[in-house]
Amino acid sequence: MVISHFTSKDSSNDTFFLGNRESPWYVVAFGMIGTSLSGVTFISVPGWVGDSQFSYMQTVLGYLIGYFIIAFVLLPLYYRLNLTSIYSYLEQRFGSWSYKTGAFYFLLSRVLGASFRLFLVATVLQEFVFSKWKIPFTEWTFPFEVTVLITIVFIWLYTHRGGIKTIIWTDTLQTFFMLTAVGVSIYLISSRLNLSLDGLIERIASSDLSQTFFLEDIKAKNHLVKQLMSGAFIAICMTGLDQDMMQKNISCKSVGDSQKNMISFSIVLVFVNLVFLALGALLFIYAEEKGLAIPDRTDLLYPTIALNSGLGIGIGVFFILGLVSAAYSSADSALTALTTSVCVDFLGIDKLQASVRRSIRKRVHIGMSAVLLVVIIAFRYLIDRSVIDTLLYVATYTYGPLLGLFAFGLLTRSAVVDKLVPVVCIAAPILTYVINMKSEAWFGGYVFAYELLAVNGFLTFFGLWILSRLRPT
């Protein structure tokens, strides 16, 4: 709230959407670490180690490939066109129907993605904190819905005036606390196991949990080539074609600063994810040695050990601090990006009279907060698997059309029948789902992982190519 107070003075819509293009690249780079990791990485990645070992690092290395493509292909395009919403490119390239379709898929993807992240954090806070508190003068504990409402209200309070300018600085603070929490957790748990730093590394390296590269069966979901390819496409789509992540990048002073941000951020992110996986292995080793039961939902392993295994109040305090920081660093920017997209892409706020722009933006900001609230509550009754696995799986369907649209625009010079673009972008995810369901029978036991995103993007690209053949010359 203090940061919001100082960064939102004399704020305007340009401040809210782009921070007046004055954001220091190194501040953006550090803050983006927290935004990319979020509460999902903070909790779900360590818990996922039990089922997938360190195979997630294969996907992370794929991210690195994708980030370099973003830095040297997409960012120069966005700066050259001077975009506020990156989906404006689709209007210039194809037409208004393509533009609205791309913006719609971003809204769908980011609402689901942000809701997944906040759902996981709200679940942990509910399980370990709020369910223990009673509402004053009653025998009732705080329900999950109230936990989510409190979270959304706090995020709205500090973002509703300054927007991206506030978030650039709050994300830096949140990233610092999140990484500190992980470091403290590793230190305290390894101390209980009487492990030095060298002993910790050796113990994890000798564990079956630390297997990183999988090359045995190309049909398996965790094969190296599939994971690398998946990671590259996920990075391009969930960062380079995502208004949330790109809004921070294009708030830098120049394309050169933005590229420095992206490259430095991507390299650091590889090592940070490795630390999270090491924490996951350490949690399973600790649980085995101390005879602790592994929760049915391994997403809850880290909070269970941090808060309920007798490690002391210190690790509990740092865990909650890191958890809240991780959640808010992704949710606040998502809420701002969703507000930006609705205002710019669907309401055409730049074309309206200056006197009504701010009031419209504020109403949209409240509306998107309400949407997140409803979706998060719905997830409580729908999700029964690892949240990060679910998040990446859903992304293969919602980001595929964006991948196909931008790829066709950048790699060809063909025009399309603009009004039919929504049909292609609806059909491609449906066909992708059918292919995924039938893959084992159709392709000799082959099981798709997140490379479904590339399949979805290719089907969209192919559909657009057909539309380009249908367009009269």
Query: 216: which 2 tokens?
Result: 């045995």
422-433, pLDDT tens digit by residue? 999 999 999 999
Residue 134, strand partner residues: 141
Q: What is the pLDDT of residue 41?
A: 74
Instruction: Count Cα neighbours of 2 within 13 Å in the Cβ-side half-sphere.
Output: 1
88-110, pLDDT tens digit by residue? 999 999 999 999 999 999 899 88
Tell me the DSSP string of 82-108: T-SSTTHHHHHHT-HHHHHHHHHHHHH
| Alpha helices per DSSP H over 342-420 | 354-379, 387-398, 400-411
Q: What percent of the chain has pLDDT over 70?
A: 94
Mean of pLDDT values over 175-188 = 89
205-252, pLDDT tens digit by residue? 999 899 999 988 888 888 899 899 888 998 998 889 988 778 778 878
Mean of pLDDT values over 328-353 = 81
118-128, pLDDT tens digit by residue? 887 788 788 87
Mean of pLDDT values over 259-284 = 91
Three-class DSSP category at 14 = helix
Confidence of residue 142 (pLDDT cuts 50, 70, 90): confident
φ and ψ at residue 55, rounded to 5 degrees: -60, -20
Residue 141, strand partner residues: 134
Q: What is the pLDDT of residue 420?
A: 95
Q: Which of 144-158, 375-389, 453-467 has the highest mean pLDDT?
A: 453-467
Q: What percent of the chain has pLDDT over 90?
A: 36
Q: What is the pLDDT of residue 357?
A: 82
- Rounded to whole angstroms, the Cα distance separating 248 from 334 reads 11
Q: What is the pLDDT of residue 113?
A: 82
* Cα three-residue angle 188-47-211, rounded to 5 degrees: 95
Q: What is the DSSP letter of 135?
A: P
Name every residue whose Cβ is closer than 8 Å to that of residue 311 and which is 6 or more positions away in sequence: 188, 189, 192, 305
Q: Which helix (H) or strand (E) holds 155?
A: helix 144-159
Q: How far is CA 432 from the centre of its chain?
A: 22
Q: Which of 12-26, 27-41, 319-333, 366-380 has the highest mean pLDDT?
A: 366-380
Q: What is the pLDDT of residue 429?
A: 96
392-410, pLDDT tens digit by residue? 788 899 999 999 999 999 9
Q: What is the pLDDT of residue 385?
A: 55
Residue with tokens 């504990």: 141
Helix 255-290 to helix 25-39 angle (10° resolution) is: 30
From 335, 389, 375, 380, select the one nearest 115 (Cα to Cα): 375
Q: What is the pLDDT of residue 38?
A: 67
Sequence length of the chain is 473
Mean of pLDDT values over 418-442 = 95
- Answer yes or no: is pLDDT of 316 > 80: yes
Q: What is the pLDDT of residue 472?
A: 65
**C-beta of residue 462 within 8 angstroms of C-beta of residue 432:** no
Q: What is the pLDDT of residue 21?
A: 67
Q: What is the pLDDT of residue 340?
A: 83
Instruction: Output 293 or 355, whichever has higher pLDDT.
Output: 293
Mean of pLDDT values over 252-271 = 89
- Rounded to whole angstroms, the Cα distance separating 312 from 292 reads 16
Query: 451: which 2 tokens?
Result: 């490379």
Mean of pLDDT values over 65-92 = 91
Mean of pLDDT values over 289-312 = 85
Q: What is the pLDDT of residue 17?
A: 64
Tell me the DSSP string of 160-209: TTTTHHHHHHHHHHHHHHHHHHHHHHHHHHHHHTT--HHHHHHHHHTSGG
Q: What is the pLDDT of residue 74?
A: 93
1-30, pLDDT tens digit by residue? 888 878 777 666 666 665 556 777 777 777
Q: What is the pLDDT of residue 15?
A: 60
Mean of pLDDT values over 185-189 = 92
- pTM, entire model: 0.82
Q: What is the pLDDT of residue 468?
A: 93
Q: Which helix (H) or strand (E) holds 308?
A: helix 301-308
Neighbours of 144 (CB within 10 A): 18
Q: What average pLDDT does the chain have?
A: 86
From 353, 376, 423, 344, select the one nearest 39 (Cα to Cα): 376
Instruction: Output 76 or 335, whichever has higher pLDDT.
Output: 76
What are the structural domains of the chain? 2-386 (1.20.1730.10)
Q: What is the pLDDT of residue 249?
A: 82
